[in-house]
Amino acid sequence: MTNEQAEFLLQQVYLPQIHNEHKTTRRVIEAVPAANCEWRPDPKSMSAIDLAWHIAASECFFMGGVAAGQFNPGGARPESVKSPADVLAWYDDNAAKATAALSALKGEALTRNIDFLGLFNLPGIAYIGLMSSHSIHHRGQLSSYLRPMGAKVPRIYGGSADEPVELPARA
């Protein structure tokens, strides 16, 4: 991939997608009942709050790693992040900073290979696609927790039974 192609992909595909997916991720995290943060469908599963945190933190981790040109192991959830509202406050602040840093990158920074903790060695732009898939996967997990916790499932890619999309009347 050329530097110009990577810049086009970032600016015309990934950044608009990141902005749109951020809104959707917010709706899913916001739907998690604060009283049920520790709920999990199985003992092997992450709790709702841990999964919400994982989604928010991993997006910032991926964008920050690409912007910095290196990935460093992520930190633990701060003690102050105890509720879905806390996750969202952290997410809004940190995702905005990470997105701004990412959007400033030029082609060479996007096409150079970056080691991913010894697991992968890919061009930076490839991690943005991986980030999106990773986040969508875990957001789907979290959305499946909602009804069993007694919450409503927000619209994601169209309506849900709890938040249907009303189609405009045909002329």
Low-confidence ranges of the chain (pLDDT < 70): 171
User: Residue 99: what residue type?
Assistant: T
CA 99 – CA 59 distance, rounded (Å)? 9
In a domain, 162, yes or no: no
Provide the domain limits for residue 12: 3-149
In a domain, 39, yes or no: yes
- Per-residue confidence (pLDDT) for residue 171, from 0 to 100: 67
- Per-residue confidence (pLDDT) for residue 86, from 0 to 100: 97
* CA count, 13 A, side-chain hemisphere, 79: 0
What CATH number should be reported for the domain holding residue 50?
1.20.120.450
pLDDT tens profile 137-159: 999 999 999 999 999 999 999 88
DSSP letter at 36 equals G
- Per-residue confidence (pLDDT) for residue 51, from 0 to 100: 97
In a domain, 64, yes or no: yes
In a domain, 45, yes or no: yes
In a domain, 108, yes or no: yes
Count of domains forming the chain: 1
- Per-residue confidence (pLDDT) for residue 166, from 0 to 100: 84
Widest distance between CA atoms in the chain: 57
pLDDT tens profile 114-142: 999 999 999 999 999 999 999 999 999 99
